[in-house]
Amino acid sequence: MKPVSSSQNVQNGATDSSDKFTLEDGYSPDGSEDGDNSLSQGNIHEPEPNTQLGEDGESETSAIDFRDDDTLVDCDQIIARLNRNSRHNKESTIREYAEVFKRMFESEKLGQYSKRQLAGKKGKEIIINYILDEKKVRMKSRRVQIEMLKAVWTRGLEVPFPCNRWDFGKLPDVGRRNTPKDEEIRPHIEAVEHEEEAYLKVLVLSIIFFGIRPSHARLFCWHHVEWRNSMPFSITTTGLETGNKNKVPVVARIPPHLAEALLNLMKAIPNSLPEDPILPYRKPNGEFVQHTAMTNAQFRSQWDRFERKHLLKHWPPAYFRHWVVTVCRKAQLSPPSKNAMRGHKYKATDMEERYDNPENSEIIEEQARILPYGTIGFAFPGNVEITSEIPSEISDAVAKALKGEIYPSQVSEMITAHLIRQIKKSEKESNSTAIQQ
């Protein structure tokens, strides 16, 4: 290679070969317009540039060779790629992502832009303006919708998301749904008590009693159930079941209503093996596939069928999850027991709570003691039958404990005191009889 001269002509770009070297011909950090960062090879057989307006509507750009990145985006193709690249996510989650993107696609008319534009400054500008428009995205939904759009950009458009969290300013915390009131879900309680189909009854009671996710309920197998006195007593999973998203076990005592429903379900689906799912897949004609667990989509379908069957207002299972947590708080169930019952990871806030790690047997005993009739019995004590043989003072105390007016320990003390009085009374009667004789 000939060394470069330091003469003035050379510095101006003139060389012995009369070639001109300018900055436009060299490598730039941002790359050339068509994505080729190599040096110019001359004008041999080079087509005449087709001059177009740039993104700002004023500057001119040369579009010689369009790549796939320069073609206009198509909403259906983007969603198809999103589905293909999101197989590890739930179907409902991907549907929500797609719906959010469709709204933005139509609102901002994204069909007039290319993938390259949406991956660069133009895409960043569109996203920021859309998210910060209160008429299009509610304040409390911004944080969630940004994450949804980020997933669509990276998996659907298959380009880096052009924004970061600082581009939107300070984002509000994600909005939380309020716990439904007891009166709002009472229709579901009354409907499930009158439900004659054991399959539906177990499905709904599992959510109402435990506050678990549908993914937990559909993975329950018969070998997870512990039996006492020929009745289902508790259910314990490992958390390692295939399909368990959070890998968290469920440890729950089975209330009487659910235990009876499980017995009826065993009669409806006879010859079930220990490894068979409690809620197997059900064909449209009603036939059960005993060795196959239902899908999340079918769980939602069966839940909707229950609500339509009883003409109920739609309350998703997630709302009952909130309700169960509130009931457990009112009943003063300890955090380890409460979280184990609904399959939620217990994140202790201090060292004392971190050391409080009871065994499963203690968790089940506490649930049985504090919630003997489950969440339904605590929130709706009128649904719990108290026999006439029990003294009124004790039955009244049990009703007050279920309402949260007194502590369960106080009920235990009243029962102990009553038994002591009965024993002393029996001893006096025996002594009196012996004296008379």
> Which strand (E) or helix (H) includes residue 268?
helix 256-268
Grouping H, G, I as helix, E, B as strand and the rest as coil, residue 418 is: helix
Q: State the pLDDT at residue 277.
A: 93
User: Domain for residue 91, yes or no?
Assistant: yes
Range with lowest mean pLDDT among 203-217, 251-265, 399-413: 399-413
**Residue 70 pLDDT level (bands cut at 50, 70, 90):** confident
Beta carbons within 10 angstroms of residue 347's beta carbon: 9
User: Domain for residue 33, yes or no?
Assistant: no
Residues 361 and 230 in one domain: yes
User: Domain for residue 420, yes or no?
Assistant: yes
Residues 362 and 407 in one domain: no
The residues pairing with 280 across neighbouring beta strands, listed in sequence order, are 293
Tokens describing residue 403: 């309402």
Residues 249 and 275 in one domain: yes
- The 10s digit of each residue's pLDDT in 130-170 is 999 988 988 878 888 999 999 999 999 999 999 988 888 88
What spatial distance separates the first Cα and last Cα of the chain, rounded to whole Å? 134
Closest CA to 175 of 137, 142, 203: 142
Helix axes 91-108, 121-131, angle to 10 degrees: 100
Q: Is the pLDDT confidence value at 405 over 80?
A: no
Q: Nearest 5°: CA angle at 325, between 320 and 326?
A: 95
Put simply, whether the predicted model's pTM sits higher than 0.75 gets the answer no
- The 10s digit of each residue's pLDDT in 343-393 is 877 665 656 566 777 888 999 999 999 998 999 988 888 655 444 456 777
The domain containing residue 423 runs over which residues? 387-431
User: Domain for residue 271, yes or no?
Assistant: yes
- The 10s digit of each residue's pLDDT in 45-60 is 433 444 444 444 443 4
CATH of the domain at 302: 1.10.443.10
Residues 207 and 336 in one domain: yes
Backbone angles phi, psi at 359, to 5 degrees: -75, 165
Tokens describing residue 436: 């008379």
CB 296 within 8 A of CB 215: yes
**Residue 126 pLDDT level (bands cut at 50, 70, 90):** very high
Q: State the pLDDT at residue 55.
A: 42
Name residues whose C-beta falls within 8 Å of residue 153's C-beta, 6 or more positions apart in sequence: 118, 119, 123, 159, 160, 161, 162
Count Cβ atoms within 10 A of the Cβ of residue 41 and give its class: 0-12 exposed, 13-18 middle, 19 or more buried: exposed
Q: Output helix, strand, coil percentages for the chain, rounded to the nearest 5.
A: 50, 5, 40
Residues 412 and 326 in one domain: no
Over the chain, what is the mean pLDDT? 78
The residues pairing with 235 across neighbouring beta strands, listed in sequence order, are 225, 252
- The 10s digit of each residue's pLDDT in 224-267 is 999 988 889 999 988 777 666 667 889 999 998 899 999 999 99
User: Domain for residue 53, yes or no?
Assistant: no
**Residue 206 pLDDT level (bands cut at 50, 70, 90):** very high
For the segment 198-208, the average pLDDT, to the nearest whole number, is 94
For the segment 176-205, the average pLDDT, to the nearest whole number, is 90
Residues 206 and 97 in one domain: no
Residues 312 and 254 in one domain: yes
Residues 208 and 344 in one domain: yes
Count Cβ atoms within 10 A of the Cβ of residue 220 and give its class: 0-12 exposed, 13-18 middle, 19 or more buried: buried
Structurally, the chain folds into a number of domains equal to 3
CB 373 within 8 A of CB 257: yes
For the segment 92-108, the average pLDDT, to the nearest whole number, is 91
Residues 254 and 112 in one domain: no
Name residues whose C-beta falls within 8 Å of residue 233's C-beta, 6 or more positions apart in sequence: 225, 226, 227, 253, 254, 259, 364
User: Domain for residue 36, yes or no?
Assistant: no
- The 10s digit of each residue's pLDDT in 2-15 is 444 444 444 444 44
Residues 228 and 323 in one domain: yes
Distance, CA of 94 to CA of 83 (rounded, Å)? 7
Residues 321 and 393 in one domain: no
- Identify the residue whose tokens are 């289902």: 232
User: Domain for residue 381, yes or no?
Assistant: no
CB 420 within 8 A of CB 427: no
**Residue 437 pLDDT level (bands cut at 50, 70, 90):** low
User: Domain for residue 416, yes or no?
Assistant: yes
**Residue 434 pLDDT level (bands cut at 50, 70, 90):** low
Single residue among 138, 168, 198 that ends a domain in this structure: 168
Closest CA to 341 of 412, 402, 253: 253
Name residues whose C-beta falls within 8 Å of residue 307's C-beta, 6 or more positions apart in sequence: 188, 313, 314, 315
Residues 232 and 314 in one domain: yes
More confident site: 68 or 290: 290
Tokens describing residue 204: 């709904």
DSSP state of 72: B
Q: Is the pLDDT confidence value at 420 over 90?
A: no
